[in-house]
Amino acid sequence: MKRFFTIKNNTTNDVLMNKNKLLYLICLLCAFPLWISAQDVLPEPLHPRTVARQIKETNPLTHLRLLQKVVVNDSLPPSFKHTQENRILHEEYLFPLFEKLCNNNAPVRIVHLGDSHVRGHVFSVTTRRQLEQVFGDKAVCPDSITYRTPAIARETGEAGLVYHTLGINGATTVQFTSEERLQEIADLKPDLIILSFGTNESHNKRYNSTEHRQQMDALLTLLYQRCPNTLIMLTTPPGSYVRLNRRRRVINPRTPLVVETLLQFAKERNLPIWDLYDIAGGKSNACLNWKNGHYMQRDQVHYTQEGYRIQGALLAEALIKAFNRYVAN
């Protein structure tokens, strides 16, 4: 009896143990789906650009510091003589624009207005592409731009740089004072307007500095009325030749006067100005540098694609240098 009892107890214990194991397995199986569903989804590996974007969104100051040491290369051809430092005069007036870029919470829009140098798109689009490489291109669609296509950027709605171009062949500032043009500019909601004129003014044999200043004043007044919060920056013309007779062209003698008018106007109106003419060699060498480097077209007024690429790269370089100095302060 004792032996049987012992066996019975062992059997009972085995049965109980088996039941316990079974219950444990049943409970485990029932809980398994809940355990799976309760887990956080494993994050996908982040692309470096995604990480950078998250840093900019969560800590704009980090983004600002990352951009402090933007490397810029000297875009002036080494063959150019008597060149000057490539920088924007009165650049401190651009600091509100750079602050918006650092905040990185909305599109920052630049609208570049000008004559045929701008209308050809190579100059301004080169500037645009290089600035996008530094400040990001998420704010615009990656459109292909040619002479036959508009150079108005299509916005995505994301934060970043937006660079629009509006050029008219043969234009002076007067061509942009019409109601239609002013509305077109205002609709783009610019934070900065770049005015690149002066070549056609200098080809007027009756050029008058006072009249030129009045025309610029009229355009600025209208632009500020339509875009009260915008900044305005001037540029000087690169230089050109005029026909002396059928066989000979000479350096345009009126360009230095136009440039001096623009420089004085910018100083009096507290406007930043990029003096391309002086940077590329000024009165003594600008035209010679461009011509001897084969960067001018046959009319010696317009430039080759490579010439415009150099000018666009120089403008981007000057803006990035100004930004670096802003961040350093």
Torsion of CA 77, 81, 82, 83, to 10 degrees: -10
Tokens found for residue 216: 């610029």
Place of tokens 């100059």: 123
Could you tell me which of 127, 132, 79, 144 has the C-alpha nearest to residue 311? Answer: 127
CA angle centred on 148, ends 143 and 152, rounded to 5°: 45
Task: Please write the tens of the pLDDT for every residue from 212-253.
Answer: 999 999 999 999 999 999 999 999 999 999 998 888 999 999
What is the C-alpha to C-alpha distance for residues 84 and 275, in angstroms, rounded to an integer? 10
Handedness of CA 219, 223, 229, 234 (dihedral sign): negative
pLDDT at residue 74, rounded to an integer: 80
What is the C-alpha to C-alpha distance for residues 99 and 93, in angstroms, rounded to an integer? 11
Bigger pLDDT: 4 vs 214: 214
Other CB atoms closer than 10 Å to residue 197's CB: what's the count? 28
pLDDT at residue 68, rounded to an integer: 56
Q: Which residues pair with 166 in a beta bridge?
A: 113
**pLDDT > 70? residue 181:** yes
Q: What does the mean pLDDT of the chain come to? A: 84
**pLDDT > 90? residue 9:** no
pTM: predicted TM-score of the whole model, two decimal places: 0.79
- Residues near 69 by beta carbon (within 8 Å), at least 6 away in sequence: 324
Task: Please write the tens of the pLDDT for every residue from 251-303.
Answer: 999 999 999 999 999 999 999 999 999 999 999 999 999 999 999 999 999 99
pLDDT at residue 18, rounded to an integer: 52
Tokens found for residue 315: 């403008």
What is the DSSP secondary-structure string of 208-251?
A: -HHHHHHHHHHHHHHHHHH-TT-EEEEE-----EEESSSS-EEE
Q: Which residues pair with 232 in a beta bridge?
A: 193
Give me the amino acid identity at 243. Answer: R
Tokens found for residue 142: 């990656």
Other CB atoms closer than 10 Å to residue 42's CB: what's the count? 6
What is the C-alpha to C-alpha distance for residues 235 and 266, in angstroms, rounded to an integer? 10
* 3-class DSSP assignment, residue 274: strand
Domains (ranges, CATH) in the chain?
48-328 (3.40.50.1110)
Handedness of CA 245, 248, 253, 259 (dihedral sign): positive
